Amino acid sequence: MLKLLEEKAGLPVAEVTEIVRQKGDYRKIAEALREGKTAEGLAMLDRLGWIREVPDAERYQALAEAYLSAVQEKKRGGGNKSALIVAPTHAELARITQSIRNALKDQGKLGEERPLAAWIPAHFTDAQKRDASNYETGDLLLYHQNAPGITNGARVVVTEGANVPTTHTDRFEVFRPATIAVAIGDRVRVTSNCRTRDGKHRLDNGALYTVRGFTPKGDVVIDHGWVVGANNGVHLTHGYAVTSHASQGKTVDKVFVGLSSQSLPAMSQRSLYVAATRGRDEVMLFTDSKKELVAIAQKPDDPLSAVDLVHGRNRWNPFRQRLNRHLTYLRRQLTFNRIHAPHTVDRERTEPLREARHER
């Protein structure tokens, strides 16, 4: 966004010139990474022993153990230290999360587990929202501002054959249906601003809670005894790890970064800087290849903005596009039906459908 303001609008932008989160050697590392001296920053991390090269078969378990150990450490003033895991891709996050949950199960810290229909953020840019080919049957458009004919808070579900809104894309976010396994004791993260079932308590996007139980109706009970309604799908996901983008603005005592060679192509100098500097006291990078990790220093670091994507995006050909959407529809039909069964209507309608609001 700052790049767009400077290049497209000619507006001056502020620049951070001093690192205040870290101290000592960690601060020097943060400064090197911020200035684009990635190879130098990685070399300092390696000298401190803050890069662990571990084979695939052992790395996820080692990362899970390090994270769970960190959140048990005590602060000088009381309470436990905070920790966060960051990874470049959602596939990497899924493997890390599974390892952490397996470890928690082995320790007897997770109780009854249930499958939940959930809404997972699609993380579309405005440019991607304007391209109708990116939408799939079952996607949810959640409006956070009024739009022509649509009010703030409206929930629009994409149905097969329906027209998809490709205007006013700054006024809604896109979510995809999925089923997640959640157990008592799990740490969960809110993926969109919402409220508890009774409407009395706001759940902010990004907030973390612990699952305390389930109601007889299948709703989720979290901290404070608050109840999250599950009948139309929950805006929750596991809260142990996030992407570099989602980690921006967060500060914890210790941060762990999962960087398998498979996910490294998604990492850039900028995203490495963001991930590695979320901690106050320490960062630990887990990878299966230091050599490939160092190659990040040579990788161009100027990702396309939304404006660039609109003007320079290569579109799929129509046949592949139709085939992909049909296969996706078949693969996700079960989850879609679980969430929307009460709201299905004639598919020949050409207008998007508005899903019933969550019961408060």
- Whether 336 is in a domain gets the answer no
pTM: 0.76
Confidence (pLDDT) at 307: 37
- Whether 12 is in a domain gets the answer yes
Helix (H, G, I), strand (E, B) or coil at 33: helix
- Whether 195 is in a domain gets the answer no
In what helix (H) or strand (E) does residue 275 lie, and over which residues does it extend?
A: helix 269-276
Residue 268 maps to which CATH number?
3.40.50.300
State the number of CA atoms in the 13 A half-sphere of 45 facing the CB.
30
- Whether 105 is in a domain gets the answer yes
- Whether 7 is in a domain gets the answer yes
Query: In which domain, by residue range, is 34 found?
Result: 1-111+238-306
How far apart are the two ends of the chain, measured CA to CA in Å? 35
pLDDT, tens digit, for every residue of 95-147? 999 999 999 999 999 999 999 999 999 989 999 999 999 999 999 999 999 99
Query: What residues are paired with 208 via a beta bridge?
Result: 189
Amino acid present at 290: K
- Whether 118 is in a domain gets the answer no
Percent of the chain exceeding pLDDT 90 equals: 64
Residue of 25, 84, 127 lying closest to 279 (CA atoms): 84
Q: How far is CA 106 from CA 59, 110, 186, in A?
A: 17, 9, 13
- If one counts the domains in the chain, the total is 1
Residue 262 pLDDT exceeds 70: yes
- Whether 95 is in a domain gets the answer yes
pLDDT, tens digit, for every residue of 178-222? 999 999 999 999 999 999 999 999 999 999 999 999 999 999 999
- Whether 50 is in a domain gets the answer yes
